[in-house]
Structure 1
Amino acid sequence: MSIYWNSFRTFFKIGMFTLGGGYAMIPIIEAEVVDKNKWIEKEEFLDLIAIAQSCPGVFAINISIFIGYKMRKTPGALCTCIGTALPSFLIILFVAMFFHQFQDNTVVAAAFRGIRPAVVALIAAPTFNLAKSAHITWSTLWIPVVCALLIWALGVNPIYIIIGAGLCGYLYGQFIKPTEEQHNEN
């Protein structure tokens, strides 16, 4: 089977059966792309997640484009992007056609209220898994805690946090990490 068709089908399935948005898709994408199909390595997947989160736009589309591009350049990115976006487009189109018929239905409203807590869990689970995979230790745990507090308690715009984190990561990679590696070799 063609890699293009297989990647389209995989991301179409992910887009069709994932509730809760892009972050809820992370464990499913990882299972399909890293574990099952072995299209990319786990470390590359974590890097692509970080890049996708930093880019403007919908996370699910961003991550699918980056994975597709990593696999087969622009044609791969198109296949994975369309595969991810098409189910949502079709579902929204279908709902829009019939929404007026069930917008006041108490059963539908109750179903959406029941889905909300599940979505929170779907977002929380990959967050903890990413933290574990990123080798966050007690000495580095302060970074996400401080960032979350700056956003939540002080109202700092997340864009400034992203820019600051990117700058700090760059400076760390340029100046501190080489000296740590050199010190570890001695």
Structure 2
Amino acid sequence: MKHLSTHDLRERGWTPAMIRDLLVTHDRERANELRVGRRDRRLESAVRLYREDRVLTAEASEAFAAAQDRARGAQSRAETAAATRRAAQETQAATVDALPLPALTRHPHADTLSQTDLWQHHLDGYLRWSLRDVADALTGLPRALVRAAQNRAFERYRQAVYALYGWADHASAGAGESESGRA
């Protein structure tokens, strides 16, 4: 007599609630063959097995069809909610791109200071702006979106400082070349 594991049932479209409600209890258990960790330990939880004939009988029932329709509807609603949430988060992260940069003025001793010293001077202004305005705009977003928005804000600020002093922008030129080189 063939048995199906919980994993097999999941692949056939069963949800944990459907298993609980329609099959109620499992028919057998076997040791879990899944190994985890550096020491290649077996998982302690046993695999629950369900007789195939019981599964087929349940799958032919009206209750299974109704439960599957409910599960599909819930899945669809969850996907829509996740897409809406992602879109809202991306819109919020994009507000950083519209934030005005802090006013930049040439250092009075720009002719005598090195590019590194001038950059350090302006970096302080960037940090204040970033901690005040940029951080406020990114509150509550996932780390990856925050990091990407912060990187874009830094790049905008860096380009503005480079333009202020007329420095050659090797970082942007190199990025453009590598992008066109890949195409």
For normalisation by structure 1, the TM-score amounts to: 0.26
How high is the TM-score relative to the length of structure 2? 0.27
Higher strand share: 2
More helix as a share of residues: 1
Highest CA radius of gyration, 1 or 2? 2
Tell me which of the two structures has the higher relative contact order, counting C-alpha pairs closer than 8 angstroms and 6 or more residues apart: 1
